[in-house]
Structure 1
Amino acid sequence: MSRRVAREELFKIVFESELTEVKIDETLASYMLRDETNLNTNEKEFIEKYSNGMALNDEKITETLKNNITGWSLERIGNVEKALLKIATYEVLFEDVPAEIVVNEVVELAKKYGDEKSHEFINGVLAKVVVEKNR
């Protein structure tokens, strides 16, 4: 299984959810029915588990991000950045994956999909989230 591929597809789902303002579970259901969805069983399970976890913990994820973003409100952040921050924050708080791996992969996605400085912003916010979690 490629978690990197699954994480990128999860990003696309969360991004679409943010863009359309449709709940993540509804966006996931629609995504899984599309013809172009070409994921193996492990990747689908990863995406479903994380999507469901994010939906169940949305309030905690949002609160954590609001507490760790300096100089911006969560509402003003671009959808790419918001989606990546939500995925990484969920994973750091609720999954047993080393924070360094999560941050590194999300920063790489930010370089691919975000603006020129998105990855720096995301890295800074996630560093604060990790510190807060470890307090």
Structure 2
Amino acid sequence: MTSFSNKTVARDYAFKFLYKHQLNEFSDLRETLLKSKEAFTLAVDEFDISYVERDKEHPQNDLTPNAKNYGVRLIAGVLENLPELQEIIKPKLKRSFNSLEKVDATILLVAIFEMKDISETPYKVTINEAIEMAKKYGTAEAARFVNAILDKVSKEL
């Protein structure tokens, strides 16, 4: 079992990886994952180098093996289940999924995958972590928006 702090790091790791690749709507990476496990592993390994590199803005980018494993589990789960996760989100929106801020969409995808497919984590924990991530990386309204969507989703899962 992964500890709480490792899961926090793992969610951050998954978010950053997916956000980076969401800029091209996941298409290339999703195709890579579904076709070649080796290519996906290489993409993750390349991302690791930049993620753990310490600099002024990121002095504590520690990534334990447990955190990386959980993060990769989240990444792979989001990519493998992307259409289904988007379909869960779409009815909760007053606009199209593609019009969402990339930060908000990425946070929602990671959180909904975790809520739906990883039973060891209580929904409230996943939602609270997603809210904190939205406060950290999103706009002023992101935390409220993420909370509202995830609250609706949690009642249906």
Q: Distance in 1 between matches of 2:86 and 2:95?
A: 13
Of 35, 38, 50 in structure 2, the residue corresponding to residue 36 of structure 1 is: 50
Largest Rg, 1 or 2: 2
Per the alignment, residue 22 of structure 2 pairs with 18
Q: Distance in 2 between matches of 1:14 and 1:62?
A: 14
One-letter amino acid of the counterpart of residue 18, structure 2: V
For structure 2, the 5+ residue unaligned runs are 34-38, 53-62
Q: Distance in 2 between matches of 1:45 and 1:31?
A: 11
Q: Distance in 2 between matches of 1:31 and 1:45?
A: 11
**Structure-2 change in CA distance of 1:67 and 1:27 (3 Å):** farther
Q: CA deviation at 1:72?
A: 1.6
Q: CA deviation at 1:37?
A: 3.6
- Per-residue CA shift, 1:11-40, capped at 9, x if unaligned? 001111211334254677424224234322
One-letter amino acid of the counterpart of residue 82, structure 1: A
Q: Tell me the TM-score normalized by structure 1.
A: 0.88
- Per-residue CA shift, 1:65-114, capped at 9, x if unaligned? 11222x12111100000000000111111111100000000100000100
Give the share of equivalent positions with the same residue, in percent.
26
**Structure-2 change in CA distance of 1:115 and 1:28 (3 Å):** farther
Equivalent residues in 2 for 1:99-114 (5 A)?
99-114=123-138
Counting matched residue pairs gives 132
For structure 1, the 5+ residue unaligned runs are none
**Structure-2 change in CA distance of 1:64 and 1:86 (3 Å):** same
- Contact 1:28–1:51 under 8 Å retained in 2: no
Q: CA deviation at 1:54?
A: 1.5
Per the alignment, residue 60 of structure 2 pairs with none
- Contact 1:88–1:106 under 8 Å retained in 2: yes
Q: Does 1:119 align with 2:143?
A: yes
Per the alignment, residue 73 of structure 1 pairs with 96
